[in-house]
Amino acid sequence: MAINFRADKGQALTYSEVDNNFGAYFTSASADGNTFTLYYPSSSQVPVNSGSIEISLIRGLQDVGKEGRIAYFTGSSGITTREGLLIDEAGRVAINAGTDTPNLTYQLTVTGDIKATGTILQSSDRNLKEDISPIDNALGRLDLIDGTIYKLKGIPGNKLGVIAQDVRKAVPEVVNEDNNGYLSVDYNGLVGLLISSVNEQNSIIKDLEQRLSAIENK
């Protein structure tokens, strides 16, 4: 195998020179759908056996062709956001969304686990809120929700959490439905319910302690 370079670095290779250099390593090429294949011969000068090298034609940043969406794909065949990153026309982002053109509901949609070494914060300043009121009947609401161990379909490993349909019966404010009809739960919102439940329990315990103390002092 011999690769030829021009002595004059200021000049581009001619078509003939490119063809000669290409042929020194690859014997032929073909394109099929989304794949461009280079075929190379068996040679002592080439550290591989006879075969082919496939180069995906869709890797990299692409215009999905729908409503101005763009995506970065890592797959070797077919445009699928399951294998990459998609940004839609409204700036919403999907990572491994699982469909070719997902109908994004939220600003960020991720299929898979998320790891952070820092703190994830949610704005909660009183000055940003209005119509503030306590959660009524917190214990009664909590009684409608069961903690569960489950597996997500197609994903190995057990998870701990709640069932969104049950939560919606108790506190619909923390349940969201996406454009495909699937429900999700704002687990941070459940913290408020748990706090109110503990406060209600504390009130009941204090009332019972006062009654018991009154009986003992008679």
Residue 123 belongs to some domain of the structure: no
Residue in the structure block whose two tokens are 């009684």 = 143
Residue 119 lies in a domain: no
Q: Are 141 and 81 part of one and the same domain?
A: no
In a domain, 139, yes or no: yes
Q: Are residues 40 and 22 in the same domain?
A: yes
82 and 43 both lie in a single domain = no
For Cα atoms 177, 182, 187, give the angle at the middle one, nearest 5 degrees: 65
pLDDT 10s digits, 161-207: 999 999 999 999 999 998 888 999 999 999 999 999 999 999 999 99
CB 76 within 8 A of CB 89: no
38 is in which domain, residue-wise? 15-56
| Domain total of the chain | 3
Q: Are residues 32 and 95 in the same domain?
A: no
Query: Is 145 within a domain?
Result: yes
* 142 and 203 fall within a common domain: yes
How many whole angstroms separate alpha carbon 162 and alpha carbon 166?
8
Question: Would you say residue 170 lies in a domain?
Answer: yes
Kindly state whether residues 141 and 166 are assigned to the same domain: yes
pTM: 0.60
> Does residue 75 share a domain with residue 145?
no
Q: Which pair of tokens denotes residue 74?
A: 């890592």
Angstrom distance (rounded) from CA 180 to CA 161 = 22
What does the pLDDT look like over 13-72, one tens digit per residue?
666 666 666 666 656 666 665 556 666 665 544 444 455 555 444 445 555 555 556 666
Residue 90 lies in a domain: yes
Provide the Cα torsion 5, 6, 7, 8; round to 10°: -140
